[in-house]
Chain A
């Protein structure tokens, strides 16, 4: 009976790379959410003055993103990194962490695990996924504007 139970437990267990990946998501998202809370408090309380004054936002947030960026000369791509001293852009830390967790998980957990397992198809899929996500995150992809 115990042996049977152990067998079931073993058969239904998540593969080790899946558990490692899950842990990266778990801790990363906890840190990301905590960062969002802290940086948002610093932003709205005015402790860290923002790039765009909060009272100006209602006149700006109805614009299309492209027009908003032009009107406010806001940074695009990774330009926000040099504005981390501003209350609003400091919030990008948490947002970027949440948006980057998948890349970290694929790069540090899945790609090496599938390579080690010699699971060629999944190694390739995970690797191409990293390339796609890095490409999206890099800011080299751009859209036309209206």
Chain B
């Protein structure tokens, strides 16, 4: 236990920049052996997996800007790997959330159809745009997300006066057991039309940048549509397994998937998440969250400046 407690602050404070700077150093060396890259990628994603769990953010949102900014891979391959990373995380978490009825199919399905269709267009746009434009847009989006993490609020049980016509017609409602209060919570949603429209934007961004879209899903489901926080978080996580599937196929079919990048990333982040869950008990999630937000902010600056031709 002591060893674990000692490892947490170390990971939280120093490890990702070390891994990232190791990657940057290796990138600068022209004769770096090929195997250094997948190894560094595995170490980096392992740490990202731990941090993502401790900070309560999706691994995909950290993966794309950090690997895209500090590794020598083209963003096409990184975004493709980012989608598979987010998809694998969602597939790992999805079954448990669905069985406990926290992720709701009734809420997820209509939203997933919209977002997954939009993410195909996002992926096509991403593959067609020049590298520097993608870097600028990705950088700006990541900086925006990091600021969103600072200011965004959540409501555990938002007040919903009643289901709107669309939610009522689709019977988007449910009931779940809230262990903290020992009571069952009945829920429904409102403002469905606006919420559904926003999922078009979310889908496009997910496909275009290869990001998991949990950072956008949760505020829309929770704050706008009024789903309870637990239902929103769980449904959002599960939703990525559908949204990212369609975009992932577009990248796969365009030959934009390199197993040498994708596989170590998926395995690293999954193993990291596994360790992260065990470290949750001894870590200080709030402090880690702020470190991750700062990390995210700076990893957004990198592609932005690269795209603008300021930082090569």
CA distance A47 to B251 in the complex (A): 27
Residue tally, chain B, CB below 8 Å to A:
72
- Tell me which residues from 1 to 60 in chain A have a Cβ below 8 Å from any Cβ of chain B: 8, 11-15, 17-19, 21-23, 25-26, 28-29, 32-33, 36-37, 39-40, 43-44, 54-55, 57-58
Give the segment of B3-11, B127-135, B155-163 that binds chain A.
B127-135
Q: Is A115 an interface residue (CB 8 A)?
A: no
Q: Is B169 an interface residue (CB 8 A)?
A: yes
Beta-carbon nearest neighbor of A12 in chain B: B177
Q: Is B246 an interface residue (CB 8 A)?
A: yes
Q: List the B side residues contacting A11 at CB < 8 Å.
A: 175, 184
- Tell me which residues from 234 to 261 in chain B have a Cβ below 8 Å from any Cβ of chain A: 241-242, 245-261
Is there an interface contact between A146 and B255, defined as CB atoms closer than 8 Å?
no
Is there an interface contact between B259 and A69, defined as CB atoms closer than 8 Å?
no
Is there an interface contact between B98 and A44, defined as CB atoms closer than 8 Å?
no
CA distance A63 to B124 in the complex (A): 17
Known: A37-B267, A64-B74. A76 touches B250 (CB 8 A): no
Chain A, interface SS category: helix
Beta-carbon nearest neighbor of B251 in chain A: A65
Known: A14-B101, A65-B76. A132 touches B113 (CB 8 A): yes
Chain B residues engaging chain A, CB cutoff 8 angstroms: 32-35, 37-38, 72-74, 76-77, 80, 84, 87-88, 91-92, 94-96, 98-101, 105-106, 109-110, 112-113, 116-117, 120, 123-125, 127-131, 169-170, 175-177, 184, 241-242, 245-264, 266-267, 270
What are 12 pairs between A and B in contact, CB < 8 Å? A14-B99, A22-B96, A43-B260, A61-B74, A66-B127, A95-B259, A98-B91, A99-B84, A99-B87, A125-B110, A136-B247, A137-B253
When A and B form their complex, which 5 residue pairs have the shortest distance between CB atoms, in order from nearest?
Answer: A91-B259, A65-B256, A26-B95, A22-B98, A139-B253
Q: 14 new A-B pairs (CB below 8 Å) besides A133-B245, A142-B254?
A: A15-B105, A18-B99, A19-B99, A29-B88, A39-B263, A57-B34, A57-B37, A61-B77, A76-B254, A95-B257, A98-B91, A99-B87, A132-B116, A135-B120
Chain A residues engaging chain B, CB cutoff 8 angstroms: 8, 11-15, 17-19, 21-23, 25-26, 28-29, 32-33, 36-37, 39-40, 43-44, 54-55, 57-58, 61-66, 68-69, 74-78, 88-89, 91-92, 94-96, 98-103, 110, 121-122, 125-126, 128-129, 132-133, 135-139, 141-146
